[in-house]
Amino acid sequence: MDILTILFYLVTSVIIISSLSLIIVNNTVHAALLLVLIFFNSAILWLMLKAEFLSIVLVLVYVGAVLVLFLFVIMLLDLPVKEKVNQKLYLLFSLIISLIMFIELYMVIFYHDFYQVDEINYYAEFNNTYEIGLLLFTKHLYSFEVTSLILLVAIIAAIAINSANKRKALKQDPSRQIEETKQSRLKIIKDKDL
C-alpha cells in the first residue's frame, strides 16, 4: 500500500464516522464543529483529486464563512439541549430508505464499465487555477454573471426577511407626529423640595 491509498482510507473513514455522528448528535454546536471536520477532510480528498483551487475555496468559503455563519446563528438562538426522544420509527424508516439507495448506487457503480483512465500525467506547467479562470471567463461567462445575481438576491432576501418586523423598525410615522401635542409629551412636576 502506497501513501496515497493509506491517506484515502484515513480521510474517508474520518468523513464517514463524523457524518454518522453528525446525524445522531443532539447538540447543534457539536454538529457544526463536526461539519468543520468533514469539510476539512473533504478538502484533502479534493486535493488528492488534483482540484487545488476548489479545495482551498472549500476551506476558505465554507469553513471560513458558511460554518461561522452557522455557529453565529446557533449562538443567537440560544437553543436548549433537549433530551433524546423516542424516534425508533423514523430511525427504522431512514435506515431502510438509505440502505436501499446505497445498494442501488453500489450496483450501478460496480456493474457499469467506466472508461478507466488510470493516471493522467499533467504536464509540468499545468495550472489548475489558470485553467478554471480561463474557462470561467470565456466559455461560462454568462453563467458567472448569473451567479453574481444569485448572490445579490441572497443578500437582499436575507436582509428583507429579518427586517420585516415593522413595529420595531426605526421609521417615521407622519400622522402620529402631527397628532402629538405639547400636553401629550410634556408633564410638569412640581418638586416640593426646591
| Residues 16-75 interacting with another protein (rule: CB under 8 A) | 16, 19-20, 22-26, 28, 31-32, 35, 38-39, 42, 45-46, 49-51, 53-54, 57-58, 61-62, 65-66, 69-70, 73-74
Residues 40, 14: contact at Cβ < 8 Å?
no
Choices 98-106, 169-177, 179-187 (CB under 8 A): range interacting with another protein: 98-106
Q: Which of 10, 44, 64, 97 binds another protein (CB under 8 A)?
A: 97
Minimum CB distance to another protein, residue 170 (Å): 17
Residues in region 135-194 near another protein by CB under 8 A:
135-136, 139-140, 143, 147, 150-151, 153-155, 157-158, 161-162, 164-165
d(CA 188, CA 182): 11
Q: Does 99 bind another protein (CB under 8 A)?
A: yes
Nearest residue to 47 (alpha-carbon basis) of 55, 59, 37, 58: 55
Q: Which of 3, 120, 188, 194 binds another protein (CB under 8 A)?
A: 120
Q: Does 110 bind another protein (CB under 8 A)?
A: yes
Minimum CB distance to another protein, residue 74 (Å): 7
In angstroms, the Cα distances linking 8 to 41, 44, 48, 53, 158 are 10, 9, 8, 19, 38
The kind and range of the H/E element at 95 are helix 88-111
Q: Which of 10, 93, 127, 141 binds another protein (CB under 8 A)?
A: 93
d(CA 150, CA 144): 10
Residues 27, 102: contact at Cβ < 8 Å?
no
Choices 115-123, 172-180, 183-191 (CB under 8 A): range interacting with another protein: 115-123
> In terms of CB distance, is 165 or 177 closer to another protein?
165
> In terms of CB distance, is 109 or 170 closer to another protein?
109
Q: Would you list the DSSP string of 25-68?
A: ---HHHHHHHHHHHHHHHHHHHHHTT-HHHHHHIIIIIIIIIHH
